Amino acid sequence: MSGDVADDGSIAGYSAAAERVGRFAQARGVPQVYCTGNHDDRASFAQVLGSGHLDASGHDVGRLAVPSGERAAVSDVAGLRIVTLDSLVPGQVHGLISDAQLAWLAGLLAHPAPAGTVVVLHHPPIAVGSIPWMTADGLHNAAELGDVLAGRDVRAVLCGHFHAQLVGSLARVPVSVTPGVVTRLDLTAPPTVWRGVHGAGATVVDLGPGGATFHTLQARDPQAGEPVYVIDAQTMADVADEG
């Protein structure tokens, strides 16, 4: 999961998420990987999920990046190196990758993995230029992250946060932003507002020999597209008039 594992940052929220996803993963023999988002709490995350890298049975198999409490970690699955970065800035909506994490990541990527590397973080290092809040609320040091990724074995960068399906690139690495698991943002709304609508989704990533492909799955929801909220992108206040 690419962040916001527990919307309220509570122990109960993490435990519920881990139980649901864990049951699905164990039945299929697949690992689980979680990273922190702006709604998460590092201490609660660590108490329930540890490094955020769990095997199919729920055992922590991740190796943490730095001893500062940030939940950046790495694990390996059949030769594929999976790196989670912690872009959480407590109390803020935007994201930032610390210098310590960037230095750690650079050290990892100096040595290629047999099947390459996937980097996961919550805040996208890309944005839609015509929608100002996407730049303001995304990753604030995307250029620095790009410098670390450039020329290395990174096959894809996976993100969340924007509740919208987006694909771009950073330092020639494909970047995929997955839609929200409960609602998605309607990007046909005026750029000054956020219009959230029913329409849960997820992204399936295929790391084939020709490169990464991203397949978005939309939940079958009879209410899909119906508004859930409309808020001002700057004040976060509910608005009735989107004009």
Instruction: For residue range 87-114, list pLDDT tens digits in order.
Output: 999 999 999 999 999 999 999 999 999 9
Please give the pLDDT value at position 241: 58
> Is residue 52 assigned to a domain?
no
> Is residue 19 assigned to a domain?
no
> Is the CB of residue 167 less than 8 Å from the CB of residue 174?
yes
Please give the pLDDT value at position 240: 75
CA–CA separation, 5 vs 54, rounded Å? Answer: 14
Residue 226 has phi, psi (to 5 degrees) of -75, 135
> Is residue 4 assigned to a domain?
no
CATH number for the domain spanning 200: value is 3.60.21.10
> Is residue 47 assigned to a domain?
no
> Is residue 76 assigned to a domain?
yes
> Is residue 43 assigned to a domain?
no
> Is residue 10 assigned to a domain?
no
Please give the pLDDT value at position 133: 83
Tokens of 160: 């969340």
> Is residue 23 assigned to a domain?
no
Domain containing residue 223: 58-232
How many domains is the chain built from? 1
Please give the pLDDT value at position 96: 98
C-alpha radius of gyration, the chain, whole number: 17
Which parts of the chain have pLDDT scores under 70?
241-243
pTM of the model: 0.94
CA–CA separation, 72 vs 16, rounded Å? Answer: 22
